[in-house]
Structure 1
Amino acid sequence: MILYLIRHTTPDIEKGICYGQANIPLPDNFNDEVDFLLSKLKNHPIQHVISSPLLRCTQLANKINPNFSTDENLKEIDFGDWELMDWNKIPQEEIDPWMKDFVNVAVPNGESYMDLYLRTISVYQQIKNDYTAIVTHAGVIRSILAHITQTDLQDSFDFKIPYGTIVKIDTQTNQYQIL
């Protein structure tokens, strides 16, 4: 089975702001980014699209296939109390324990990376349709790549996933390539 993991395009938010499940709008150049992304997919027969329900993903999913579905488990990590805060203004006593063990330590009123991993892998393991695209977020994509490559979650940030990245996975062999 062939699966495509697609990270949403650039959101309209200042650099340095912590966001995960906040519903961030898209900038005016959204269609330019989408056109480029769609040109990369034109020779790939995507038949099914599942998206994170967040706006930055659903708008892209709609451009790929207007008959897409959504799954709450494909949302980015829940940053709880830190959503839409400047990373530099998060209290040191809150961020230090998380930075030391972000895999297992949950953000205040949010979740840990392990929480994201478990919900993401549950979706990944349920996909049965060939040529499915998942439109989602960097954390979700990294967790799936960590799963298929047996990479420790704390090392999964070695997978570079810029906005608009497309990862093609052969789920039989767990081989992947960035398109």
Structure 2
Amino acid sequence: MTGFALHLLRHGAPATTGLLLGRTDAAPTAGGIAACVSQAEDLGIERLIASDLRRCRLTGEAIAAAAGVTITIDSRWRELDFGDWDGKPGSTVDPDRLGRFWADPDANPPPGGERWSDLVARVEAALDAISTRPTLVVTHGGAIRAALHLLCGFEQRQLWSFDLPYGVLVSLNVWPGKRPSAQIAGIYP
């Protein structure tokens, strides 16, 4: 069975960092976009997908123009919805409640927000729709972690050990099938 390259790129840095940005539609900085365009150089992608939120869409549009590929917008690659916490600094959220969320985001979702399992289901549907051509997805930290869970088998608690700063590129070799699997080819800050 032949695998294919799947690259997951976290969007460029937003103007205000340190916020719980889920559905909040913050734009990336020009420097953040430029850093992502640089990360995407020489990947040999044939397909480009981006979350519909501006921090991913604008980054993806710049990469598409530089790489000469068409961009597909797919809202299934959105970040976890942080509900009542969305757009707020983590320091303003009740630390006990936030700690319970980080320890088990499925049992302790943000008030009015999304469960981890809902994010995983969205990302699984998005992964199922990807063809076996070299693909770049411009997305969010939570969606990247969900993809690593699905493709590489990492448990949810293990995923927090991955440092996924703005503009990080996670490259995978994916073997398609009824239950696709992947190997991490590299993580590039």
The answer on whether the counterparts of 2:33 and 2:62 sit within 8 Å (CA) in structure 1 is: no
The answer on whether the counterparts of 2:13 and 2:166 sit within 8 Å (CA) in structure 1 is: yes
Equivalent-residue separation in structure 2 for 1:138 and 1:8 (angstroms): 9
Q: Report the CA distance shift for 1:166/1:100 in structure 2 as closer, same or farther (over 3 A).
A: closer
Equivalent-residue separation in structure 2 for 1:96 and 1:37 (angstroms): 33
Count of matched residue pairs: 175
**Could you list the per-position Cα deviations for residues 42-70 of structure 1 after superposition, in whole angstroms to 9, with x for gaps in the alignment?**
2x211111110011111111122152111
Question: Which blocks of at least 5 consecutive residues in structure 1 are unaligned?
Answer: none
* Of 24, 27, 31, the match for 1:25: 27
* Residue 35 (structure 1) shift: 4.6
1:178 aligned onto 2:180: no
* Residue 108 (structure 1) shift: 1.1
Q: Percent sequence identity over matched residues? A: 25
Aligned partner of residue 48 in structure 2, secondary structure: strand
Equivalent-residue separation in structure 2 for 1:31 and 1:105 (angstroms): 33
> For residue 167 of structure 2, what is the amino acid of its counterpart?
G
Equivalent-residue separation in structure 2 for 1:33 and 1:59 (angstroms): 13
The equivalent residue for 1:62 is 61
Equivalent-residue separation in structure 1 for 2:45 and 2:142 (angstroms): 22
* Of 58, 81, 84, the match for 1:81: 84
Equivalent-residue separation in structure 1 for 2:92 and 2:139 (angstroms): 27
Q: Kindly report which structure 2 residues correspond to 1:1-179, keeping only aligned pairs within 5 A, or say none.
A: 1-15=4-18, 17-38=19-40, 41-42=41-42, 44-66=43-65, 67-91=70-94, 94-95=97-98, 97-172=100-175, 174-176=182-184, 177-179=186-188
Question: Which blocks of at least 5 consecutive residues in structure 2 are unaligned?
Answer: 176-180
Equivalent-residue separation in structure 2 for 1:35 and 1:54 (angstroms): 17
* Residue 135 (structure 1) shift: 0.6
Structure 1 length-normalised TM: 0.87
The answer on whether the counterparts of 1:94 and 1:108 sit within 8 Å (CA) in structure 2 is: no
Higher mean C-alpha deviation, range 89-98 or range 120-129: 89-98
The answer on whether the counterparts of 2:106 and 2:115 sit within 8 Å (CA) in structure 1 is: yes
* Residue 104 (structure 1) shift: 3.1
Equivalent-residue separation in structure 2 for 1:60 and 1:86 (angstroms): 23
The answer on whether the counterparts of 2:26 and 2:54 sit within 8 Å (CA) in structure 1 is: yes
* Residue 6 (structure 1) shift: 0.8
* Residue 3 (structure 1) shift: 1.0
**Could you list the per-position Cα deviations for residues 140-176 of structure 1 after superposition, in whole angstroms to 9, with x for gaps in the alignment?**
1111112222111122111221111112211126112
